[in-house]
Chains A and B, each alone.
Chain A
Amino acid sequence: MVRYFAKRLGLMLIALFLIILVTFVIMHAVPGGPFTSDRNLSEEVEAALNAKYHLDDPLPKQFFDYLKGLLHGDFGPSYKFTGKTVNDFIANGFPVSGKLGGITIIFVVLASIPMGILAAVKNGKWQDMVVMAVATIGVTIPSFVIASMLIYIFSFRMGALPSFGLDSWKGYILPVITLGGYSVSYLARQMRSSLLEVMGQDYIRTARAKGLAEPKVIFKHALRNALIPVITVLGPTVANLLTGSFVVEKIFAVPGLGVHFVNSVSMRDYTTIMGVTVFYATFLLAMVFIVDVFYCLIDPRIKYD
């Protein structure tokens, strides 16, 4: 088991390395340096800047320097905000995105799993129809449309909830719904179909043949089996929500990592783009790894080789 996870960890590091490499190459393949495009700098100034940020060094050297920095947790300086580092952005943005994301995850799990269970247990009945209708809206309507609708109804018409900022708990409600809406819908559908599939399995018939009452059949025998595929999609979902959605942060003026990322893209702040990408990738891989561990804890059939 330890060997299995060590191997997974190794593969993860390789994946991470490749992601860094590809991001690095793409960033440097974009025509023009970070300082050529928008501002009119004199040639001397640009040369000085290039020298300052070691942009004159050969690419492999730049890459290994960057990698070395990463190993120490150093994402490098921002090219556009003098005196700021990418670490500053992450340190400022991530806690905001992380808190919003964390609350959203709790909301997503607490809403989607019971919704999916209800829909599956009441398969074909009105409860199922309601859940599926909500879930269909959630996966088909883009989040900015949902956000606009929510803001229109709850902020402008009713004046009940703020339309931007996270200053009070009320401020979280609309962003959380907007951010988690898709995941709630998606996971509820997953949970429903997975549970329905499990409920048709032979071992469920065995459980019923033992004389177990339906709640016991569902919660003791069906649910754990049905959760396995749901957990698989939960990993990437968690990483996604924690690192912040650009759209939601932009709409609700949340000073999170997503907004920084969008800004840095429009300003060609290469190190920030790379830094956030690498940070995001690390997070995603870590989540997938954690899911893997959970997977092994819940499913004894997984072989460690």
Chain B
Amino acid sequence: MEPILQIENLKTSFMTSNGEVQAVRGVSFSINKGEILGIVGESGSGKSVTSMSILRLLADTAVIKEGSITFEGKNLIDVSKKEMRGIRGEKISMIFQDPMSSLNPLIPVGNQVAEMILEHHPDRKKEDVKKEVLELFSRVRIPEPEKRYKCFPHEFSGGMRQRVMIAMALANKPDLLIADEPTTALDVTIQDQILHQLRELEKEYGTSIIFITHDLGVVAELCDRVIVMYGGLVMEEASIDDIFEKPGHPYTMGLLVSIPDIKQDKSVRLMPIPGSPPDMTNPPKGCPFAPRCPYARKICAQELPEFIELGEGHRTRCFLQYPDAPADEHNPFRR
């Protein structure tokens, strides 16, 4: 299948007064047309920085140091600001984690969605755009769209605001939607409704979705494929079936281990793995998971393992998966 977006060896850092924070240290993945790709990982693993690098929406202190992001044959890292603006919201759009603060408090929600359309299609008539927005509102199940159009964000609940954000993100029927933990701040029922809608909209519009989450239950429910991130790196990449049936990385196993039956209990969240993520100002030169890994060996702290192919579309970054890895009781993959 033809990938619609391809990221190759992306390295993004923040230049801070405490030194260089190497938030993303060489991430590669691609997403196909109509696919929903999940990105999971603990807090600070670099999920948001990766996704915001795509649209270059990071703070001024951020620098993309290396790599390429290919979209429609162009490297998004090099395109002009003007060209990037043409892509934002029109071809690639984004939904953010916190719906409470992602809408401008002083502008009626309807106008904020209309602005998205008018920005990219200035020749459209205002009334037509309004009609479109109302239609989008009913699409995302905002009751009484006509009445809600003029409301301000503070008159909406978190779930309603996230629906406005989704309506906005879909307004121009983008090719790719990046949803950065869109349901984390919402309660479970609302979360379910929103996921359901995203799935529906994906089917209807054929939009590819990058879905970032902490929640493996959500991944199981929504995604076709998943990448697991840790310490600014991709640790494992696999289809949904593979990741749950034969996880190929100790970190992935750690994420899964305390979840009894993921497919049934969909509200289970990541259980904390003992220890804390690495300091990205001074990232470890070996496997970043080594200090917390129950199977770590001497070499793990010294060298960064390369990717090993475990099967079609399934790769992992762990010494225990190397062909010459010892097969003993300390190797969960060779027992």
Contacts and interface: CB of A to CB of B under 8 A. Distances in A.
Report if A and B associate in a common complex. yes
Interface of A: 201-203, 205-213, 221, 224-225, 298-301
Given A203-B101, A206-B102, A206-B103, A211 B96 contact: no
A126 B310 CA distance: 55
B90 interface: yes
Nearest to A298: B106
Contacts of B119: 210-212
B106 A209 contact: no
A300 B57 contact: no
B168 A225 contact: no
B57 A201 contact: no
Contact of B94 (A203, A209, A212, A213): A209
B41 interface: no
B186 interface: no
Contacts of B89: 209-211
Contacts, number: 63
Contact of A225 (B57, B105, B116): B105
Contacts of B57: 205, 208-209
A225 B105 CA distance: 8
Nearest to A201: B101
A298 B152 CA distance: 12
B96 A206 contact: yes
B12 to A, nearest CB: 16
Contact of B86 (A203, A205, A211, A221): A211
14 contacts: A203-B102, A203-B104, A203-B105, A205-B57, A209-B55, A209-B93, A211-B87, A212-B85, A212-B119, A221-B104, A224-B106, A298-B106, A299-B105, A300-B154
Interface residues of B, number: 27
A24 to B, nearest CB: 44
A211 B104 contact: no
B68 to A, nearest CB: 21
B104 A213 contact: no
Interface of B: 55, 57, 85-90, 93-94, 96, 98, 101-107, 115-116, 119-120, 152, 154, 165, 168
Contacts of A208: 57, 88
Contacts of B102: 202-203, 205-206
Contacts of A301: 105, 152, 154
Contacts of B116: 210
A203 B94 CA distance: 12
Given A210-B115, A210-B116, A300 B103 contact: no
Given A203-B101, A211-B120, 10 more contacts: A208-B57, A209-B57, A211-B88, A212-B115, A224-B106, A225-B104, A225-B106, A300-B152, A300-B154, A301-B154
B125 to A, nearest CB: 19
A221 to B, nearest CB: 5
**4 interchain residue pairs of minimum CB distance:** A211-B88, A202-B101, A211-B89, A210-B89
